[in-house]
Chain A
Amino acid sequence: MNERQIMTADEVRRAIARIAHEIGERNGGVGQVVLVGIYRRGIPLAKRIAAAISHIEGSTVAIGALDIALYRDDLELRGPSTHIQHTNIPVDITGKIVVLVDDVLYTGRTIRAALDALTDLGRPERIQLAVLVDRGHRELPIRADFVGKNVPTAISEDVAVRLNEVDGGDDAVMIHRGDA
């Protein structure tokens, strides 16, 4: 099979722990931090980062969930999603430091949509971005503040993040070679 593993479960765990440390360092603690996961795999990642932060910093951070389907710019190309997921951010994000969490950073279009969605919900002091994998090929001027692993890829390749909460089994990050 044209598939190779680029992160093991252990590496995923260490990357999450490192991101949790960096979020605390960068922001001088986590008092103002709200973690917002993007559907689907950003949400379990945000929960894991929050758990790691509470272990490191001894304080809990608020977690939210964001669906960006209604902010996408490719409705014409891809058509509507079958499900619109529930956006649920339990705290007022105005004045807070929002850390967006997603599994893979690729073109940057999802993050562009997420930024629009967040600004509709309030005016955060700052928005930062944490991703498990940055695979390059940006189409917009967007970069991540916290990256689990930088992975050079070809456009024809496909990066798949598997998380136990969503996919069952062991965590892993795989690259599939496309036929293109």
Chain B
Amino acid sequence: MTMPAVSPHVPWTPTESRKRRHVLDLDDFSTQEITDILDSATSMKEILGRSVPQVPILRGRTVVNVFYEESTRTRMSFELAARTLSAQVMSMTAKGSSVEKGESLIDTIRTIQALGADIIVMRHGESGAPYLAAQHFKGSIINAGDGRHAHPSQALLDLFTIREQLGTLEGLRVTIVGDIVHSRVARSNIWGMLRCGMHVTLCGPSTLIGDVRTWQATFPTLKVHYTLDDLLPDTDVVMALRIQKERMQAGLLPALREYSTYFGLDEARLTRLPAHAIVMHPGPMNEGVEIMPEAATSPRSVIETQVTNGVAVRMALLYRLSGEAPAV
């Protein structure tokens, strides 16, 4: 598959991809670099299928998971990816650490550096926290989710899954439905999808999409649509996002039932999709709200595949960041 080096859809600030040090968002990834990572992830997936799923390449390297927010799949996925590449893995969660005694983010990063970490995988509730950490760490930072801002490894695994299932990315029509305005998954996916030449439509109640002009100031080709049913026949990939119950308390939604009625993915809505279309969800799901159990487990659903593919994609990222050992 050949793609233009830079997609015309989003302006691109070039970085020398071989020299990439951090993965903070997808906004500084070229189409070529995304393609390289997805290609490598395909080969990484073969390793995961072996009877002894381990290769020695990162022996002697240390990956530290630093999670200020709870997470199941992302943390376990990064941990498994690092172990499969034979790296040492340490994990820190804010709960039970010196963070509770008031240790600052920068101090925590310096401490982890002094322990010999090569790569920090970081999740934080504040948008931008990994950027601050990157300024104080000599190794590499991978953003595993920061506030509402970005979740680049999730977006890459979504792109990988779409390409694996549908054979290509270029020209595919994606509908992202749900709580877009609070979603770091949506934001990173929009960068990646547009850069790979996909057509992206945001869908949901206007209170959960935010200001259209703001979106289109950054992403001129991004489309916004406030009804789902008429979009589905022209959708190749539908990605549902989690609806948090707190949004209702904040007055953004009148009722979860109302959201489900208009935007919840159920069997009837899936029949409106073209025969080849797939259903995605980054998890964790609120079954019965944004997606019904029968839709989540339907043959079109690739939700479990997304989880499996996440490990392969994260292996490709960890490997790519492992150049010369950092001079500590």
Complex contact A82–B50 (CB within 8 A)? no
| Chain B positions within 8 Å of A69 at CB level | 57
In the assembled complex, the Cα of A51 lies from the Cα of B157 at a distance in Å of: 39
| Chain A positions within 8 Å of B47 at CB level | 70, 87
Complex contact A80–B322 (CB within 8 A)? yes
| Chain A positions within 8 Å of B323 at CB level | 75, 79-80
In the assembled complex, the Cα of A60 lies from the Cα of B289 at a distance in Å of: 57
| A contact residues, range | 20 to 34
Complex contact A79–B324 (CB within 8 A)? yes
| B contact residues, range | 20 to 34
In the assembled complex, the Cα of A80 lies from the Cα of B46 at a distance in Å of: 18
Within 8 A of A (CB), among B39-98: 39-40, 42-44, 46-47, 50, 52, 54-58, 85
| Chain B positions within 8 Å of A121 at CB level | 50
Q: Shortest distance in angstroms between A113's beta carbon and chain B's nearest beta carbon? A: 9
Say if the beta carbon of B36 comes within 8 Å of chain A.
yes
Say if the beta carbon of A26 comes within 8 Å of chain B.
no
Complex contact B18–A72 (CB within 8 A)? no
Q: Shortest distance in angstroms between A20's beta carbon and chain B's nearest beta carbon? A: 28
Within 8 A of B (CB), among A101-119: 116-117
| Chain A positions within 8 Å of B316 at CB level | 84
Complex contact A84–B54 (CB within 8 A)? no
Complex contact B44–A84 (CB within 8 A)? yes
Complex contact A120–B43 (CB within 8 A)? no
| Chain B positions within 8 Å of A86 at CB level | 42-43, 46
Q: Shortest distance in angstroms between A114's beta carbon and chain B's nearest beta carbon? A: 13
The closest CB in chain A to the CB of B20 belongs to: A80
Within 8 A of B (CB), among A63-77: 67, 69-72, 75-77
Residues of B bordering A, CB below 8 Å: 17-18, 36, 39-40, 42-44, 46-47, 50, 52, 54-58, 85, 316, 319-325
Residues of A bordering B, CB below 8 Å: 67, 69-72, 75-77, 79-80, 82-88, 116-117, 120-121
A-B interface, 5 closest residue pairs, ranked by CB to CB distance from nearest: A79-B323, A70-B55, A84-B43, A84-B40, A70-B57
